[in-house]
Amino acid sequence: MGRAYTDEEKENIRIKIKQYGKEMFEKEGFKNFRIQKLTKKVGISLGGFYTFFANKEALYEGIIEDEKNRIRLKISNCIENDNITPKDFFVNLASKLPEKVKENKLYENQEKGPYNLMSELIFDIDADNRKENLVFLQNLRKLWDIQGNKLKLSDEEILGILSILGAISMKQSTMDKNIFEKLYKDISMYLINKIV
């Protein structure tokens, strides 16, 4: 049996597990992620991993939660500090979604296993997630209201539009690239013009 970790060592190991775990999930996806590979990178035993997380699902969900919070904070700060208009925000978001889905496996659709980052940020996966998404959107609306920018649609309608864009983005690998790009651009601009 190994020695006990100090509180400081525990915190450092937890940070490393999440940092390396995030990098691995982004590149390999949930299905191909291996705890043994992670523990080797972190420099701990397999049993050491289970001191911090019950399984890879728990690690994945913790990383998704951290990423969701990081992204939301970044969005709020940009809107508040850089005076990003709703139109600029939604156009930028729509333009980045397909690329994020293609290059970062945290956004990848999971056939089995926990939900992905797209699900947490955009889709209503359960009542708590829906409420959280609405609260976040209401906070953005307040920031825009202070700046004198008004949105045409309700928060629920906007979340519906974002869900459509997310779903289309996640299906891009099943479509011809040129068809996807044209379809996505037409749909995203049509929907964004409804919002603002």
- Please report the pLDDT score of residue 112 as a whole number: 67
- Please report the pLDDT score of residue 3 as a whole number: 65
Mean pLDDT of 154-183: 90
| Contact by Cβ (8 Å): 29, 18 | no
Mean pLDDT of 153-168: 90
b/e per residue 114-142 (b: at least 16 CB within 10 A): ebbbbbbbbbbeeeebeebbbebbeebbe
Nearest to 120 by CA among 72, 184, 52: 72
Question: Which residues make Cβ contacts (< 8 Å) with residue 59, sequence separation at least 6?
Answer: 17, 18, 21, 53
Share of the chain above pLDDT 70, in %: 97
Mean pLDDT, rounded, of the chain: 91
- Please report the pLDDT score of residue 186 as a whole number: 93
pLDDT digits (tens, 9 = 90+) for 44-82: 999 999 999 999 999 999 999 999 999 999 999 999 999
pLDDT digits (tens, 9 = 90+) for 20-54: 999 999 999 999 999 999 999 999 999 999 999 99
Mean pLDDT of 133-151: 93
pLDDT bracket for residue 109 (50, 70, 90)? confident
pTM for the whole structure: 0.86
